[in-house]
Amino acid sequence: MRLRGKVVFITDADSVSGRALALRLAAEGASLLLNSASGGQEIEDELKRIRQSGAEALVVSADLRRSSETERMLESAAERLGAVDILVHNNDLVAPISVENGEESVFLEVMDANAKTAFVSAKAVGARMKAKQSGQIIFVSSIHAEKPTGCSFAYSAAKGAVKMLAREAAVVLGRHGIRVNAIEFGPAEGDDELFRSDISMLYDSYRYKVPNGVLGTHEDLAGLVLFLASDESRYLNGADIRMDGGFLMHYMDFKTKKPYEAGGSP
């Protein structure tokens, strides 16, 4: 029970990663504040399991692009759960948009969903952590903070922005005992569909570009989040940890573990 007595705020709890994070962190004794656009509907099973295990979970549906709404939500959640000790920013929205023909509305939607929510939630939670002179902020980001997608430039620009937000916050909030780190996760099952590109072959045979030929899961992600949330990582600050099984070490698709029968190199 490494998070006993801690209050963890997880954003976009409806996502696959959000659900895995909620289950894992609750199992370690954390009380959860879950931001869920569906008002908890899409995570009914998880909520049941979490509450049956005796852990506390409070569901909210705040628009994290707006400071005033976010502040209000945190204020009233604190009355129920106590102040947030750990923020896990987990918002992740991918939508196709090209540099040449992209629409401004799509750009803003993707930027705001990924980057503005990160800024607003870090700002609001950070101010409260500052009062206690302790806290952890974890940004669940993507390998596309480094590697272009070839299908959604706004997504990778947002992740590049979050990378710098994490570094800024590590310095600015770091003086108040708050640690801020980012995880650059990927690829997970289905990312070839999510990042379908006619420019880049990044996701062709993507499983085999991971040297060991095995994709990561959101449970793997939850393990790293737990480490970053716990005191075991107390000297980690301003780090962006790439968690990709070695995926980005590949050069094109040479020397992968893809079997010859499946079209791999002999």
Partner 1 sequence: MSLAGRIALVTGAGTGIGQGVALMLAERGAKVALGYHSSDEGAKETRRRIEERGGEAMTVRANVARKAEIDAMAEEVARRFGGVDILVNNAALQLNFNFDHDDDAYDRQMNVNLKGYWQCMQAVIPYMKVKGFGRIVNISSVHGKRPTDFDTVYAMTKGGIKMLTRESAIELAKYGITVNAIEPGAIRVGRQGTKETKPFVPPELAERARAEKRDIRWKFPMGRVGLPSDVASLVCYIASEETEFMTGAAIRLDGGSMLL
Minimum distance between the CB of residue 236 and partner 1, rounded to whole angstroms? 16
CA distance linking residue 215 with residue 224, whole number of Å: 15
Q: Does 128 bind partner 1 (CB under 8 A)?
A: no
Residue 145: count other Cβ atoms within 10 Å of its Cβ: 25
Q: Does 247 bind partner 1 (CB under 8 A)?
A: no
Among 62, 86, 88, 158, binds partner 1 (CB under 8 A): 158
Among 5, 108, 134, 246, binds partner 1 (CB under 8 A): 108
Decide: residue 15, CB within 10 A, 0-12 exposed, 13-18 middle, 19+ buried: buried
Q: Does 127 bind partner 1 (CB under 8 A)?
A: yes
Nearest to 159 by CA among 134, 122, 184, 135: 184
Alpha-helical regions (H) of 63-190: 67-81, 104-111, 117-132, 153-172
Question: Would you say 58 or 106 has its CB closer to partner 1?
Answer: 106
- Site mask, partner 1, residues 172-211, x = CB under 8 A? xx-------------------------xx-----------
224 contacts: CB under 8 Å, gap ≥ 6 = 183, 241, 243
Nearest to 124 by CA among 237, 11, 5: 11
Question: Would you say 14 or 92 has its CB closer to partner 1?
Answer: 92
Query: Would you give the DSSP letter of residue 205?
Result: T
Tell me whether the omega of the peptide bond preceding residue 187 falls within 30 degrees of 0, making it cis: yes
Q: Does 65 bind partner 1 (CB under 8 A)?
A: yes
- Candidate ranges 31-39, 41-49, 74-82, 145-153; the one touching partner 1 (CB under 8 A): 145-153
The residues that touch partner 1, with contacts defined as CB under 8 A, are 65-67, 98-100, 102, 104, 107-108, 111, 115-116, 119-120, 122-123, 126-127, 144-145, 147-150, 153, 156-165, 167-173, 199-200, 238
